[in-house]
Amino acid sequence: MVDLKAVPYCLDDEDCRWVEDTILNMTDEEKVGQLFFQLTQSQEEEHLRELMERYHLGGCRYNAAPGQTIQEQNRTLQKYAKIPIIIACNTEAGGNGACEDGTMIGSGVKIAATDKEEYAYALGRMANEEAAAIGCNMAFAPVCDIVYNWENTEVINRAFGSDPQRVARMSAAYLRGAHTIPGFACAAKHFPGNGLDFRDAHLSNNVNDLDPEEWDATYGMVYKTLFENGLEAVMAGHIMLPRYARAIDPDLKDEDMMPATLSPEIMTGLLRERMGFNGMVVTDASHMVAMTDRMKRADMLPRAINAGCDMFLFFNDPEEDFAAMLKAYREGVISEARMKEALTRILGLKAHMGLHKKPKEGLVPPSAAVAQTLGKDGYKEMQRAISQDCITLVKYKDEDVLPLIPQRYRRVMIVHIKGAGGPMGEIMQMMGLPGADNAAELLKERLCEKGFDAFIYESPLERMKKRVAEGERPSLNLYFAGKHAVADFVRDMDLVITLCDVPSGRPAFGMSKGGGEIPWYVFEIPVIVIGCGQPTMLADIPQARTYINTYDAKESTFDALVEALQKGPEAFKGTDPIDSFCGLADARL
């Protein structure tokens, strides 16, 4: 069932013999270990040594850390690996998905807004040059989902928009860029395709309800394009594809409908038999509720392998999960034929990457590669170029608002709207982790540099919090009854920028009466609403007369934003890669 001489492996007779001989000489424990992709919890040598010598891992992901630290971790993993290990990274938007000091090039939606394939190619090449420099050899990318549902927060920023043809072109360009790096492989995600359900598979079920003809013309077309470009691996998502599953097995009962990772109808019937995919398949992370809510974990582990997945992403508890998979193999729940097929694909991919021909000390680049590669000027120049070309003027009803120049609008109030980040957002801010940048302060700084008198709005609720922190008990009237004349509200400003800094989910507005959080005043004073995170803010601020998407709040992005604002509407080069009006008629008014 596996053709090692065909795409994507393209092995010669010697390589094929290595695969066959290696499998023949493996213990049961070594065979089972190759099925697992583990997320490391520590860079300590003893921890890494145990993973390799006790659990014989086939693949590894890791938590964020500086590049030098990750490189040493990867060197240690390969040192103790009997069979060279696949080390993967999430370089879907840049080398920052490989290590903390990697370069963020641009998210999928940002690159899609430029409609330039060369940027997707550059992303694949540059992000994975940084990844390879620290010893990674596989990208869990490209993200080739299609955004059909604006409420899907899981992939709306990560995918290359809502046009299947563009998603196919951009994903293939990313793949070609990554393939410029010798021995580097990609696992495209999330098969059979995210973007229709509003739910997040981390938290709930996720369903792709397209019929077979619609799926073949959209998601299927995207994956076929990647297969034709030599895609090595697929990451299977915990996504149900019920109409296709029933087309393959008309007798399938409702209660037996499974996410793709547990569905033989999808992983074997569709991906292998109908589409002819010859490469390796890895599951998405196994802690996600769309997978864990289907059955006991001990049953889920072998079920994923039997469904057609070759590698299982992440132990929950290493000892427990390893024992469950080993038991299933020894008792015949996983057949000898299925085990051999999975191992052939895993080792065949490692041979395709040339890992078996390298000495251990050559599997990870020398230490100097980190300083020589990470943060190259060329990567930063590419980030700036994408920022210049992506910024999108989505809605422009007040056609005399731009250009934004100090002679017209000296006093600019910035209203910083954030998302409901929850406890993790608070932790990131406390620790100063990436993602906790203050976008409003950055925008204020850029505007002031250009001669504006910009200031950040302080809401009644924020003022109340300060007074409480000082030991006062202010009247709730300050918050709930803080009305004043409109003329008084607009007196001290010439223009308002509502900056929606919402990386995921919906914006969180204050509810003070007459306050400035929600731009109720769009007909009282010029207002520009800017989405610098999720590009769907018109759903919650449909009254916006001028709406712009920047897709992130990086310095290069805000440099390009302020430049375009000062030049006028013709300076905005981006085209809307999704329906930023969210299908809502009132958002277009």
Please give the DSSP secondary-structure letter assigned to residue 268: I
Contact indicator for 261, 308 with CB cutoff of 8 Å: no
**Dihedral pair phi/psi, residue 255, rounded to 5°:** -70, -15
Length of the chain: 589
Q: Is 579 noted as a catalytic residue in this protein?
A: no
CA Rg value for the chain:
26
DSSP bridge pairs for 281: 234
Distance from C-alpha of 221 to C-alpha of 30, rounded to nearest angstrom: 37
Distance from C-alpha of 536 to C-alpha of 531, rounded to nearest angstrom: 8
Distance of alpha carbon 63 from the chain centroid = 15
Helix, strand, coil abundance in the chain, percent, nearest 5:
45, 10, 45
The 3-state secondary structure of 510-547, one letter per residue: CCCCCCCCCCCCCCCCCEEEEECCCCCHHHCCCCCCEE
Contact indicator for 259, 291 with CB cutoff of 8 Å: yes
CA distances from 86 to 296, 311, 534 (A): 28, 11, 32
Residue 322, both tokens:
């390893």
Please tell me which residue in 197, 284, 310, 576 is annotated as part of the active site: 284
Distance from C-alpha of 546 to C-alpha of 284, rounded to nearest angstrom: 39
Residue entry with tokens 């696949």: 86
CA distances from 110 to 408, 511, 531, 571 (A): 30, 31, 12, 17
Which residues are CB-neighbours of 185 under 8 A, at least 6 positions away?
86, 137, 138, 139, 178, 232, 233, 349, 352, 353
List of E strands, 35-184:
36-39, 59-61, 86-89, 138-139
Angle separating helix axes 439-449 and 555-567, nearest 10 degrees: 50
Residue 11, both tokens:
């092995």
**Catalytic residue list:** 284
